Amino acid sequence: MNILFRNANIITHCERRLCDLLVQGEKISAIGNDLSADGADVVDCRGLNLLPGGVDPHAHLDLAMYGTVSSDDHYTGHRAAAFGGTTTVLDFTSQSRGGSLRGSIDDWYSKAEGNAAVDYSCHVNVTDFNSSVAAEIPSLPAQGLTTLKVFTAYNGRLRIGDDDIASVMRIAREQGMLVMLHAEDGDEIEALVGAALAAGKRKPIWHARTRPPRGEVLAGRRAIDLASDALAPLYVVHVTTAGLADNLYRARTRGVPVMGETCPHYLFFTEEHLKRPDGAKWVCSPPLRTVKDNMALWNALADGSIQTVGTDHCPFFFDGTKPIVYEDSPIAIAGKELGRKDFTLIPNGIPGIEHRLLLLWTFGVVSGRLSAMRFVELTASNPARIMGLYPRKGALLPGSDADIVLWDPAKQHTISASTAHMRTDYDLWEGVKLTGVPVRVYLRGRLLVDGERWLGRPGVGRFLHRQAGAPVL
Ligand SMILES: [Zn+2]
């Protein structure tokens, strides 16, 4: 089916123009003035913005943690993403101890395939590095997988040593792949957690106090040095501190190929939220910081020090003993109540996949911190470019997938868990008022979201074969 979008205020990362856009089948075929197409469905876009579908570079769907699982799977998480204007979602594999990367990819694929409701891919976690894993990495780009993730925290579980990170970086550079980094100081965290528990400190605030900001800065700096030595591109996920944002800025000035991502919760909340009686809702890793960090991150988004906004969506119920109704059925999944008596047992993660574009629009564009083009760049085109998906995704060009968001910049909305689509029982932005929301969302020319109506279903999302050699922005 062909669709002609008429009189749309088209916004991409590089231009704004009032014109028409023609979709033929799954692709955009033309953009210009006074387009015509016999038999096409005509959508009058007067008063609406037309944006490329959002690309979320960072989510955790159906992820096992602390004896439970993140409460959105590839269907419910993708559905919530679509309601928020995101049409491509990347999550992660989980490598088991002694396991191969291939095995982890197969496990991930078996969860995603058949459930996916938007287009998708994954980053390949390298959490147990050895010579056979090293030998496997060069086979990944041919499978469309071009990004690897390493950790400097979670000792004994996810962390690999700095020497191994350096090896992963060298292999990645040779293969045109990108290394992503979770930057925290695992040694210091282990020591501080041990001391806190020994002193009887069990409340959620100790999650933040045992993961201090200096650990993120130090771990990030070490990795920047390794990337500089290896001449390998590095992408630091979920930057939370002014200190690391500043280090990224300075390394980039020196020509080190390093990029950064932050997430909405690090722009809005602080560790003070963890002191509340329901503080477990705000437990995520790295933890929330200070107002000064919030402001520094907004500035880093505006000045180009940070290239993307991902969600790190990793939802857990606040009280998983009480069911909610999701798509007409009751469901309860064990969640943050597991850590009611001990902060180290609270599943780490925050729901947010649905709100990324809405929050960035109201508090970025409407408030004057970001231009509308920069908004598109941070939420769609930069993630697509960095992750090897551009211009198929993140663009409005002839030949791009027709992933299109019609955005009503005047429409008001108040966030509430009762109306949001994420499968969890709370919303950190409850009561927050927004101006500007998506009113229609298309995936490859197919209408997925029409106001409050959901027209998608499990399995319509497609695995995306990504290209190696993506640019460093
Ligand atoms: Zn994450």
Which structural domains are found in the chain, ordered by start?
1-413+422-473 (3.20.20.140)
pLDDT at 37: 86
Of 80, 87, 83, give the one whose Cα is nearest residue 56.
Answer: 87
Alpha-carbon separation of residue 404 from 22, 294, 380, 401 (angstroms): 11, 30, 11, 9
Question: How does pLDDT run across 189-241, given as a tens digit for each residue?
Answer: 999 999 999 999 999 999 999 999 999 999 999 999 999 999 999 999 999 99
Question: How does pLDDT run across 179-188, given as a tens digit for each residue?
Answer: 999 999 999 9
**What pLDDT band is residue 260 in, cutting at 50, 70 and 90?**
very high
Which amino acid, 160? I
Alpha-carbon separation of residue 386 from 235, 258, 267, 274, 381 (angstroms): 9, 11, 22, 33, 9
Q: What distance in angstroms lies between residue 5's CA and the mean position of ligand 1's atoms?
A: 36
Q: What distance in angstroms lies between residue 392's CA and the mean position of ligand 1's atoms?
A: 25
Q: What distance in angstroms lies between residue 314's CA and the mean position of ligand 1's atoms?
A: 7
Which amino acid, 261? E
Token pair belonging to 199? 């002193």
Residue 388 CB: number of other CB atoms within 10 A? 25
Question: How does pLDDT run across 286-324, given as a tens digit for each residue?
Answer: 999 999 999 999 999 999 999 999 999 999 999 999 999
Does the predicted model carry a pTM greater than 0.85? Answer: yes
pLDDT at 1: 82
Asked if 315 and 71 count as a contact pair (C-beta separation under 8 A), the reply is yes
Q: What distance in angstroms lies between residue 182's CA and the mean position of ligand 1's atoms?
A: 8
Q: What distance in angstroms lies between residue 20's CA and the mean position of ligand 1's atoms?
A: 38
Q: What distance in angstroms lies between residue 451's CA and the mean position of ligand 1's atoms?
A: 29
Q: How far apart are CA 39 and CA 19, in angstroms?
A: 19
Kindly tell me if the per-residue pLDDT of 452 is higher than 90: yes
HEC per residue, 268-291: HCEHHHHHCCCHHHHCCCCCCECH
Angle between helices 162-175 and 213-230 (to 10 degrees): 50
Q: What distance in angstroms lies between residue 404's CA and the mean position of ligand 1's atoms?
A: 26
CA 241: distance to chain centroid?
A: 18
Q: What distance in angstroms lies between residue 60's CA and the mean position of ligand 1's atoms?
A: 6
Q: What distance in angstroms lies between residue 59's CA and the mean position of ligand 1's atoms?
A: 6
**What pLDDT band is residue 250 in, cutting at 50, 70 and 90?**
very high
The mean of the pLDDT values for the chain is: 97
Q: What distance in angstroms lies between residue 95's CA and the mean position of ligand 1's atoms?
A: 15
Q: What distance in angstroms lies between residue 427's CA and the mean position of ligand 1's atoms?
A: 18
Q: What distance in angstroms lies between residue 287's CA and the mean position of ligand 1's atoms?
A: 12
pLDDT at 155: 96
Asked if 332 and 323 count as a contact pair (C-beta separation under 8 A), the reply is yes
> What value, to the nearest 5°, has the Cα angle with vertex 453 and ends 447 and 459?
55
DSSP letter at 96?
A: P
Q: What distance in angstroms lies between residue 236's CA and the mean position of ligand 1's atoms?
A: 11
pLDDT at 157: 94
Residues 6+ apart with CB under 8 A from 406: 5, 8, 43, 45, 48, 49, 50, 438, 439, 440, 441
Residue with tokens 């279903």: 457
